[in-house]
């Protein structure tokens, strides 16, 4: 049995779909407050749904019974954040540390954990991710740590200012640094492939898309796909730094740090990883054509 934690998120749902379509047994941990439509979608895929919460240790123990592998994509960010309740500390750190402990106690053989590449400044979400990575590496379980870079479906979307329906784009920094935008669909494929791949055992894999594309190049790709020019607004690095230093809320602090990292991101060389995991990665052009139609 494979347990997916974060199953109602976009990556987690796709992981459940991939596992179920391959005929592999899947159990999804969902919260009582999870979107009912998303839970029903999981059930329609043939996924066994169990209620629980990363912040409820007893529910984690129950969810891990009879499980051979766990895949965790759960996070309080970007969309599930609730001040003083669902935060990087309570969910991304304490909850995931509890999941590792529960998995060990249940005799789970391996755990695939979704994180992100190391970034410059310390901030709540990164601190939580690094704590979990460290604990997982010393857990005694077989592990895979996936560190995907910027998801194109989030960072090239209205959610963070890339308003392609309105033909407007907010660019953090100058926008001339190449970023290896990756699709959540490909991250899900890597997660599933990692379960039985020898190259993924006790490994940390940084993941990116097929090539580095600057934010300004991404704008031009969307302009070509939609046949209309974009209005581009830049937020200077200095402004982002002021926002980061002034932020006290953990979500605001983390998001400001992620925007700063976006402004200085460098591409990820995927050549060695793709030799071990042969797959065709989705491009920004494919994504743009899909959403601009």
Q: What is the CATH number of the domain that holds 148?
A: 3.40.50.720
Please return the burial class of 58, using the count of CB atoms within 10 Å of its CB with bins 0-12, 13-18 and 19+: exposed
- Beginning with the edge strand found earlier in the chain, give each strand of the sheet holding 168-172 in spatial order: 162-163, 168-172, 231-235
Q: What is the pLDDT of residue 87?
A: 85
Q: What is the pLDDT of residue 246?
A: 96
CA dist 3 and 19 (Å) reads 10
DSSP result, 135-179: HHHTSSSEEEEEEE--BHHHHTSGGGTEETTTTEEEEESSS-S-B
Q: What would you report as the CA-atom Rg of the chain, rounded to the nearest whole angstrom?
A: 19
Domain coverage including residue 205 = 2-292
Helix axes 237-246, 250-262, angle to 10 degrees: 160
Q: What is the pLDDT of residue 259?
A: 95
Q: What is the pLDDT of residue 85?
A: 74
pLDDT tens-digit map of 67-77: 999 999 999 88
- Beginning with the edge strand found earlier in the chain, give each strand of the sheet holding 203-207 in spatial order: 48-51, 26-30, 2-5, 69-72, 110-114, 142-148, 203-207
Write down the residue that tokens 């797959």 correspond to.
Answer: 279
Q: What is the pLDDT of residue 92?
A: 92
Q: What is the pLDDT of residue 78?
A: 73
Query: Could you tell me the two tokens for 195?
Result: 């379960």
Mean pLDDT by 10-residue block, N- to C-terminus, for the chain (293 residues)?
Answer: 96 98 97 93 96 94 97 86 81 96 97 95 94 97 97 96 97 97 98 95 97 97 97 97 94 94 94 95 98 89
Q: Which residues face 220 on adjacent strands?
A: none
What region does 70 belong to: left with phi over 0, alpha with psi -120 to 50, or beta?
beta
Q: What is the pLDDT of residue 76?
A: 87
Q: Report the domain count for the chain.
A: 1
pTM score of the predicted model: 0.95
Q: What is the pLDDT of residue 183?
A: 98
């Amino acid at each position: 049995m494979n347990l997916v934690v974060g199953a109602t998120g976009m990556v987690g749902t796709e992981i459940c779909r991939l596992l179920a379509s391959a005929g592999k047994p899947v159990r999804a941990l969902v919260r009582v407050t999870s979107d009912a439509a998303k839970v029903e979608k999981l059930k329609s895929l043939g996924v066994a749904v169990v209620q629980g919460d990363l912040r409820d240790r007893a529910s984690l123990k129950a969810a891990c019974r009879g499980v051979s592998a766990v895949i965790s994509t759960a996070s309080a960010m970007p969309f599930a954040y609730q001040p003083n309740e669902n935060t990087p500390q309570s969910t991304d750190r304490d909850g995931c540390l509890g999941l590792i402990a529960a998995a060990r106690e249940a005799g789970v053989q391996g755990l695939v954990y979704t994180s992100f590449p190391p970034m410059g400044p310390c901030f709540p979400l990164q601190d939580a991710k690094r704590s979990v990575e460290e604990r997982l590496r010393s857990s005694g379980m077989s592990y895979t740590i996936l560190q995907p870079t910027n998801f194109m479906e989030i960072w090239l979307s209205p959610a963070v200012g890339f308003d392609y329906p309105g033909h407007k784009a907010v660019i953090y920094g100058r926008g001339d640094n190449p970023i290896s935008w990756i699709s959540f669909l490909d991250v899900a494929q890597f997660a599933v492939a990692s379960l039985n791949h020898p190259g993924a055992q006790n490994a940390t894999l940084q993941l990116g898309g097929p090539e580095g594309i600057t934010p300004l190049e991404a704008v031009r790709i969307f302009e070509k796909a939609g046949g209309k020019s974009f209005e581009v607004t830049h937020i200077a690095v200095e402004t982002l730094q002021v926002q980061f230093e002034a932020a006290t809320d953990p979500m605001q602090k983390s998001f400001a740090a992620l925007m700063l990292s976006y402004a200085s991101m460098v591409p990820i060389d995927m050549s060695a990883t793709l030799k071990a995991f042969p797959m065709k990665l989705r491009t920004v052009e494919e994504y743009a054509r899909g959403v601009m139609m």
